[in-house]
Amino acid sequence: MMLAARFHGRGDIRLEKIEEPPCGKGEVKMRPAYVGICGSDLHEYTTGPVLIPKTPHPITGSKYPVTMGHEFSGVVVEVGNDVEHLSAGQRVVVRPTIFDKTCSSCIKGIQHCCDNIGFIGLSGYGGGLAEYIVAPAEHFYPIPDNVSLQSAALVEPLAVAWHAVNISPFKPGDNVLLVGGGPIGIGIVQVLKVQGARQIIVVEPTENRRRLSKDFGATHLLDPLDVDVPETVLRLTDNIGADVLFDTAGVEAALNGAIPACRAHGTIVNVAVWQKRPVVRVNDLMYKEVNYMGAALYDNTSFEDVIKAISYGQLNPDKMVTSKITLGEVVEKGFKSLLENRDEHCKILVVMKGSGGTGRQGGFR
């Protein structure tokens, strides 16, 4: 038996003893080391089940209760007898996206837009918030020796940011407006800096997240409660506007308030998961012929590129970690802390058994 944090319904995550999973053909068994709590996890906790299936998932056959945790790293403890690219003792990070490989999106090579998309830690194969996890070998990626297990736990959210920038029309020298300074927003700031943005203007109402955005490379920080965002952006861009706008907030007022800051023939990229359907000022998009597009998850290339970028020192995700907790603290000091003390945190990591203990980071700095 092993301990796991399992979702049973809205506001109901329980620490339970469940059976330790066996490792079969084509599978890998891993001991998780660090697990991040994601905004999607918070949505499940407050309003779910959303992505967590109520009926058996078409690929995994799983439904809730499920073991949570989809941003995580760890150490391989066993591999199936036909797994050749991994071995016991190897340090790995998990790509949690699950796809059917048969739908039209998968056939076109865009598996991350699969009609039956699922996620380890939400839709099946268990999750990182357990002493062990077993999943198909294709989900496990070796990490270089100079990438820590802590940094590796942040590959997944950084891959979302990397992919969003890559599929946008952004090019070096562009002026960029970013709405929202949470973990994905801060990841986008890092990627934009690596890829040569001229100005990175961040709109964020909380002081600590503005400060962290600056630490990672933002050139201008705007509090939407204190300044006129479109007027300020136009002034900073010689009255042209932002070339690309990334929305990671998913707040109707924030989006509509930022649309006028985008230049004619500019692009708005939605990276947010919206809890409520927004009313968008479509005419404001139409008159300036502004493109509006979505960025969903990431492809394999983006996931691998982030691992390389961390190894090369281009991305340094450790400063995003504002607290480390134990599995036993996951509800009170994890989920509830992120909901009740949003201004104090960016990314909380759950430190699993055998990964070296815990320690508080003391806020942003």
pLDDT tens digits, 173-207: 999 999 999 999 999 999 999 999 999 999 999 99
Contact (Cβ atoms closer than 8 angstroms) between residue 180 and residue 254 = yes
- Grouping H, G, I as helix, E, B as strand and the rest as coil, residue 131 is coil
Q: What is the mean pLDDT of the chain?
A: 93
- Judged against a pLDDT cut of 50, whether residue 359 lies above it is answered with no
Interstrand relation of 71-79 and 27-36 (parallel, antiparallel or unpaired) = antiparallel
pLDDT of residue 343: 79
**Does the pTM exceed 0.85?**
yes
Confidence tier at 365 by pLDDT (50, 70, 90): very low
Q: Looking at the predicted structure, is the pLDDT value of residue 30 above 90?
A: yes
The torsion of the CA quartet 65, 70, 73, 79, rounded to 10 degrees, works out to 60
The number of beta carbons lying within 10 Å of the beta carbon of residue 62 is 19
CB 168 within 8 A of CB 107: no
Q: Which of 226, 239, 276 is nearest to 255 (CA)?
A: 276
| Residue 245: closest CA among 258, 226, 257, 232 | 258
Q: Domain 2-153+316-351 belongs to what architecture? A: Alpha-Beta Complex (3.90)
DSSP state of 329: G
In this structure, how many other beta carbons lie within 10 angstroms of the beta carbon of residue 154? 27
Q: Where in the chain is the domain with CATH 3.40.50.720?
A: 161-294
**Residue 268, strand partner residues:** 245, 292
Quick one: how far is CA 320 from the chain centroid? 12
344, pLDDT greater than 90: no
* Residue partners of 286: CB distance under 8 A and separation at least 6: none
Whole-angstrom distance, CA of residue 225 vs CA of residue 285 = 23
Find tokens 């736990």 and name the residue. Answer: 153
Instruction: With residue 187 as reference, give the H or E element that holds it.
Output: helix 183-194
Residue range(s) of every CATH 3.90.180.10 domain in the chain: 2-153+316-351
Any idea which of 29-43, 201-215, 272-286, 345-359 has the lowest mean pLDDT? 345-359
Q: What percent of the chain has pLDDT over 90?
A: 90
Residue-level pLDDT at 274: 87
Within 13 Å, how many C-alpha atoms sit on residue 84's CB side?
Answer: 1
The edge-to-edge listing of strands for the beta sheet with 262-270 is 220-222, 199-203, 175-179, 242-247, 262-270, 291-294
Q: Helices (DSSP H) in 36-146: which residue ranges?
A: 39-47, 104-107
pLDDT in tens, 65-95: 999 999 999 999 999 989 999 999 999 999 9
CATH architecture of 161-294: 3-Layer(aba) Sandwich (3.40)
Q: What is the CA radius of gyration of the chain?
A: 20
